[in-house]
Structure 1
């Protein structure tokens, strides 16, 4: 395994890059202030731009750790930060990364998150040398599962009452892809 840190990735429509303090306004107005966007997440809605600034200051400091993978999703069309994608848990023993993501509602159902997830998975397999990438979603949020499936992940099962988010205790579905599947069936 390699730990190159959060490097800039680019796709046809996106720049997937480290966050900076200047992203606070976009973060707040594009996704973090929306209870609709955050309802299936584990962190509370930001009440002010200052809340977004505070979390971004912590995230920028965390980039000193090369094992930290936390990207801003920037939409090339308007150069705005529109969401985030990160490794929320890493199990080095089995070389696995669990991905978490969110995106502003205006950008839903356009294939943007699938595009970002594919880019991050490619980086984690090709550059970081991981063996497995997984993600999970509340079963009441099937659109997130469609993103995982569209990115090439396979459904592995549903864990009953095994998670907790802003809606309370929940069932979650787990999706994953392994290095051998990724390299034998490129996305």
Structure 2
């Protein structure tokens, strides 16, 4: 999942939250309208009270169902975020293994070249030693660069995973609080 996919997913998630909030408002309005209709209907008191109790239970069940749906959605999104973090980590690990393999090949090639040059040109042994030393330093520098890039990538992943985890926790807490407020309002 690339950055654009991630941003698109976040945008879709925000739209789903807005729709859930709108549905909650509509459900509350319907429940309040039904209760108002019952209160003003020309029925005997006992029947009206029974209707109010039944409608209240029905509204509470709807709120609980909406909260459960929201919880399921959040759990699914958390699972998806975790899977994406694992995939990103595995991709980076695979790239690191590939870089190490390429590095090892480069080292082997450099060693083979140094040995061949040493056998062919014994008279220029000092020049060859300098070349091998420079090549080794370049290989070390390259290794240090690759190592540093891997560390930075791992830190970036850690931050993203932590941020995703915090976002999921906040969303779960907000949904839980919203559902509790809706149930308490009823």
The answer to which structure has the higher helix fraction is: 2
Q: TM-score, normalised by structure 2?
A: 0.23
Q: TM-score, normalised by structure 1?
A: 0.23
Considering Cα pairs closer than 8 Å and 6+ residues apart, tell me whether 1 or 2 has the greater RCO.
2
Larger Rg: 2
